[in-house]
Amino acid sequence: MPSIDLESEQGREEALRRMLTIRKFDTKVGEHFADGEIPGFVHLYVGEEAVGVGACAALEEDDYITSTHRGHGHCIAKGLDPNLMMAEVFGKREGYCNGKGGSMHIADMDANMLGANGIVGAGPPLGAGAALTINQKGEDRVALSFLGDGAVAQGQVHEAVNLASAWDLPLILLVENNQYGEGTPVSDQHNLEKLSDTAGAYDIPGIHVDGMDITAVNEAVAEAREHARNGKGPTFIEADTYRFHGHFEGDEELYRDEDEVEEWRKRDPITDFSERLIDRDELTEEKFEEMQAEIESEIEDAIAYAKDADEPVPEEAYDDMFSANVPDIERFVQQANARTDGGTHGGEF
């Protein structure tokens, strides 16, 4: 069963709720960042909600995801708690990473969300690693890595796709083509009409979808998931989308004109989906407004939670730097030394 079944009325309502939660969460983050209350940088996901929610809805709870520097939407789509997320964004101790990660590094191993990442293109190697673990353990799940159009030019992305293809790893690469890598249009970054054509170089399926349409994204990820679970390896998906805000909050956006932004805003994925539900008589304008008010108040509560939360304490600065879940290092060294005894590469660790 997918985590949210878009075939059911209840599932469609939940998907709309998550899209609205992302929209409200990030809109509020933008406001509080402008007020100087949030440390660091924030990159908002407003406009891209159909990709995160459509994709995560097609996954099961125990599937892994990796994220990008624009990760709030992926976290909410995967079911993370907005209170703990907001506390993290505000740099507070109650946050997912005890306030040490901030906006760009929210992670929750319990939700199989392996982390947002400030290093462009760092998600796919993590996703490939998770997919390798799945295969080694003989598990029936998949890993999905979100990445941006800019990240497609990163070397480590190609290493990850190459290995995933060579070893038939259950990995889904989902490129959010929001048309710009910072201020560089996608056509100046790549000599490819479609980024999904990258798939051909690795002999894996490439799918190109409208990322403003939640159903199209959902179907593409469901297909890729089936492919991966059948032992056939990775799929490379490109979803065309658009960020309604600047690259980061405070960006002057000199690289694009307002008409272009307006054109894309007309294709707002939340308006599109809600109108479809209204046309099907599953939603009314009143219910939609009620839903928005409810979510607005949940996000106000998250802001209040974050503001009331404790500051991190300096004594804990070095905690959590390494996972407690490391193999027995002593045993590892002994085994490694035993293996090299008498070998041509001998020598002690």
Ligand X SMILES: Cc1ncc(C[n+]2csc(CCOP(=O)(O)OP(=O)(O)O)c2C)c(N)n1
- Residues lying near ligand X in the complex (CB under 6 A): 68-70, 118-120, 148-151, 176, 178, 180-182, 247
Give the CB-nearest residue to ligand X.
Answer: 148
Q: Which is nearer to ligand X, 120 or 126 (CB)?
A: 120
The minimum distance between CB 122 and ligand X, in angstroms, equals 7
Least distance in angstroms from the C-beta of 119 to ligand X: 5
> Which residues have a Cβ under 8 Å from the Cβ of 279 and sit 6 or more positions away?
none
Listing DSSP states for 281-341 in one string gives TS--HHHHHHHHHHHHHHHHHHHHHHHHSPPP-GGGTTTTSS-S----HHHHHHHHHHHHT
Burial 261-294 (b: 16+ CB within 10 A, else e): beebeebbbbebbbebbeeeeebeeeebeebbee
Report the nearest approach of ligand X to the CB of residue 175 (Å).
8
- Nearest-CA neighbor of 89 among 45, 152, 41, 128? 41
The nearest distance, CB 12 to ligand X, in angstroms, is 26
Distance, CA of 267 to CA of 252 (rounded, Å): 23
Q: What are φ and ψ of residue 201, in 5° steps?
A: -65, -20
* Token pair for 153: 């030019």
Q: 181 or 205, CB closer to ligand X?
A: 181
Which CB, 70 or 105, lies closer to ligand X? 70
CB of 317 to ligand X, least distance (A): 23
> For ligand X, which is the closer residue by CB, 124 or 129?
124
Q: What distance in Å separates the CA atoms of residue 274 and residue 271, rounded to the nearest whole number?
A: 5
d(CA 272, CA 113): 28
Nearer to ligand X, 71 or 91 (CB): 71
Query: Taking the complex as a whole, how short is the minimal distance between the CB of residue 178 and ligand X, in angstroms?
Result: 5
- Judged by beta carbon, residue 26 or residue 149, the one nearer ligand X is 149
